[in-house]
Structure 1
Amino acid sequence: MSFKFEKLIIWQDAMTFGESIFQMSLSFPKDEIYNLTSQIRRASDSVALNISEGSILQSTLEFRRFLGFSIRSVAEVVTCLYKAKNRNYINENQFSEMYNFSYKLINHIIAFRNKLT
């Protein structure tokens, strides 16, 4: 048995995304724990959470709305990535890897949402 959302590639990718962001943020300074670390973790986790929540017992219109929340959460993560890079918490390679993952993920979610009728 499985939930409908577990079969969605966008949910699977969002789960990987959240775990990658979590691992990356482990190296952030301790004085950022209640600020940037918390923010980037919550935003990245929100992507998969909104996909799953929107897919269960929701109308297509409501699911599209939750996918919009996921899209905005990815954009929030990208801003946090810039902040982390600017504060020298991550290097250029880490930034590029997660930026590219973000770009791919946001475009997949948008394409999926556009196919819902």
Structure 2
Amino acid sequence: MSINSYQDLKVWQFSMNLAEKVYHLTYQFPKQETYKLSSQIQRAAVSVPSNIAEGHTRDSTLLGVRSEELLCAELETQLILGERLSYLDIQDLQTVLSKTDEVSRMIRGLQKALKAKL
């Protein structure tokens, strides 16, 4: 399969699914969190596929991939806090953390492949 667009990248597709799941989960947060934690979580989640797309478009994918791994860790931390504050139940947290871990592994794989090309 050839990659003609960032949308062809599996890591972009998986990270879009993750962002969608995160948005649905944060809709459950209390209203007072609308412009606080839920907003931060949403921004972190949408930044992952956005930066992958930007990096691919600029042909600087390796730089974008490095920051995506950090964003995944940031997202995980914020989600764990959401669970600790009882905004998420443990099953939802485990589901989304599993997806975040999967995206992180894909990002590391992409990093290795891009470094091998250099």
- For normalisation by structure 1, the TM-score amounts to 0.92
- 2:84 maps to which of 72, 83, 86: 86
Instruction: Tell me the CA shift for residue 68 of structure 1.
Output: 1.2
**Segments of 4+ in structure 1 off by > 3 A?**
none
Instruction: Tell me the CA shift for residue 3 of structure 1.
Output: 5.3
2:56 maps to 55
Structure 1 unaligned segments of length 5 or more: list them: none
Q: Are residues 93 and 55 of structure 1, via their aligned partners in 2, closer, same or farther at CA, if it must alter by over 3 Å? A: same
1:36 maps to 37
1:21 maps to 22
Report the AA paired with residue 63 of structure 2.
Answer: R
The sequence identity of aligned pairs, in percent, is 26
2:105 maps to 107
1:51-95 per-position Cα deviation (integer Å, ceiling 9, x unaligned): 00000132xxx3211111211111111001111010000111001
1:56 is paired with a residue whose SS is helix
Q: Distance in 2 between matches of 1:3 and 1:95?
A: 34
Instruction: Tell me the CA shift for residue 35 of structure 1.
Output: 1.0
1:5 maps to 6
Number of residue-to-residue matches in the alignment? 113
RMSD of equivalent CA atoms? 1.3
1:28 is paired with a residue whose SS is coil
